[in-house]
Amino acid sequence: MISPHGSDVLTPLFVEDAAARKQLYSEAQELEPVLLSSAGAANTVMLGAGYFTPLPGFMDKSDALHVARTMHTRHDLLWPVPVLCLVEHAKRLEKRQRIALTDPNVKGHPVLATMDIEAVEFLSDAEMLEICENVYRTTDPGHPGVSEFMEQGQTMLSGPIQVLNYSYFTSEYSGTFRTAVEIRHDIRDNGWEKTVAFQTRNPMHLAHEELCRIAMERVGADGCVIHMLLGKLKPGDIPAEIRDAAIRKMVELYFPKSTVMIAGYGFDMLYAGPREAVLHAIFRQNMGATHFIIGRDHAGVGDYYGAFDSQTIFQDIPKGELEIEIFNADHTAYSTKLDKVVMMREAPDHRPEDFVLLSGTRVREMLSRGIALPPEFSRPEVARILMQYYQSK
């Protein structure tokens, strides 16, 4: 099986032993509590679940700036996005050696993890903007990722952590949330030698469904993991529970049994385009996938990135630094000339009117008004789930 990123084994930071976890949780009640941001909580969950292998905890200032500038840690590990614990006020923490990180997304703010503080450092305004410019390619506060980052605070807490739970993801998405450890075990148990991973933060229409099939056929994959983001999104995006229901219905009706695994992970969307695409690839290598689909405007938002920037960034990664293989996909749509879904670049004799294309705005309008989507665009069973959601708003 494919090795985890930068390690021979996964290094999840979740405390598996129940007795040890209970003891740590009891000890945490006496520690100074620090309320995380949603992004900090998501990073904690990902560290616990093994997706951030081989990181031992939150990065310090030197590592964070090195990653932002070079896409590598100080120890030359490929890493595209700083993994930070940012807080607004930390004067009270300067003499603390150990703290309790508490969850902003669960009522009562329970302890999410304990942390051994190695450094308390301050990011200047210029350094905050430098990180944004390198990671997001913009400092525009209208960018949802930039806005979220700039609101977290400028004091960095760094050091190893011990994760005690997976926040709301295990309770709200008990049948979908899976750690990298669990998915890796499932892939091994399925006997899949080649596994394609598909990232989604949206429901899957017919074109997405067929793209998974195309990728599986071309790389000779045994199976596909449809891996959906379960964390925080920008306003207007479809909630995870609706996406989950729609995707499950599609897989149930239209894929052969035992060829597709549906899973989710507890991370907040960054909308960082190319840099986030590399991070997504690391997640999928850590969970055991051998191939990862990168499509048009992967992890993008608005017009901040070129349509295929999230593919070309992989050309700048030295050979051997990332083991997972990238399947570069074009925009995929139904061809009325060929009577099937194709990648548009592979149909050079087509005109725009030869494809069934609908904008997101048009799709939302149709569903809100109870108008059925064309079967060449969406499976009717999937469209019905989405229609119920939009009409209930």
Summarize pLDDT for 121-166 with one digit per residue, the tens: 999 999 999 999 999 999 999 999 999 999 999 999 999 999 999 9
Q: Give every CB contact of residue 179 below 8 A, 6+ residues apart in sequence.
A: 12, 14, 48, 49, 50, 51, 166
Write the DSSP assignment of 161-210 as a string of letters.
EEE---TTHHHHTTTTB--HHHHHHHHHHHT-SSEEEEEESS---HHHHH
Domain shared by 308 and 276, yes or no:
yes
Q: How far is CA 213 from CA 14, 23, 205, 206, 346, in A?
A: 34, 47, 13, 11, 16
CATH number of the domain bearing residue 81: 3.10.400.10
Identify the domain boundary among 126, 141, 170. 170
Same domain, 132 and 189: no
- The Cα angle at residue 170 between residues 164 and 175, in degrees rounded to 5: 145
Domain count, the chain: 2
Position 207 in a domain:
yes
What is the average pLDDT score of the chain? 94
Question: Model confidence at 215, in pLDDT bands (50, 70, 90)?
Answer: very high
pLDDT one-digit tens code per residue, 40-86: 999 999 999 999 999 999 999 999 999 999 999 999 999 999 999 99
Q: In terms of domains, do 50 and 154 share one?
A: yes
Backbone angle region of 255, left / alpha / beta, with phi > 0 → left and psi within -120 to 50 → alpha: beta
Residue 10 falls inside a structural domain: no
Name the residues annotated as catalytic.
Answer: 201-202
Question: Are 304 and 215 within one domain?
Answer: yes
For residue 69, give its domain range: 18-170
25: in domain: yes
Residues 226 and 331 in one domain: yes
Tell me how far apart the alpha carbons of residues 339 and 376 are, in angstroms, rounded to a whole number.
9
The CATH code of the domain that includes 336 is 3.40.50.620
Task: Verify that 241 and 155 share a domain, yes or no.
Answer: no
Please indicate, yes or no, if residue 6 is contained in any of the structural domains: no
Q: For residues 299 and 211, state if they share a domain.
A: yes
What interhelical angle do 240-254 and 380-392 show, nearest 10? Answer: 160
Q: By the 8 A CB rule, do 264 and 177 touch?
A: yes
| Residue where one domain finishes, among candidates 135, 170, 205 | 170
pLDDT at 230 over 80: yes
- 156 and 299 both lie in a single domain: no
Q: In which band, very low, low, confident or very high, does the pLDDT at 95 lie, cut at 50, 70 and 90? A: confident
Same-domain check for residues 144 and 278: no
Instruction: Among 128, 145, 170, give the residue marking a domain's end.
Output: 170
Whether residue 290 lies inside any domain: the answer is yes
Q: Are residues 119 and 140 in the same domain?
A: yes
Together in a domain, 24 and 103: yes
* Cα–Cα distance, 302 to 142 (Å, whole number): 10
Q: What percent of the chain has pLDDT over 70?
A: 100
Neighbours of 130 (CB within 10 A): 16
pLDDT tens track for 289-314: 999 999 999 999 999 999 999 999 99
- Asked whether residue 236 carries a pLDDT value surpassing 80, the answer given is no
Q: Would you give the distance in Å from CA 356 to the centre of its chain?
A: 29
Residue 47 lies in a domain: yes
Domain membership of residue 343 (yes or no) is: yes
Domain-located, residue 9 = no
pLDDT the model gives residue 166: 97
Note whether 252 and 326 are same-domain residues: yes
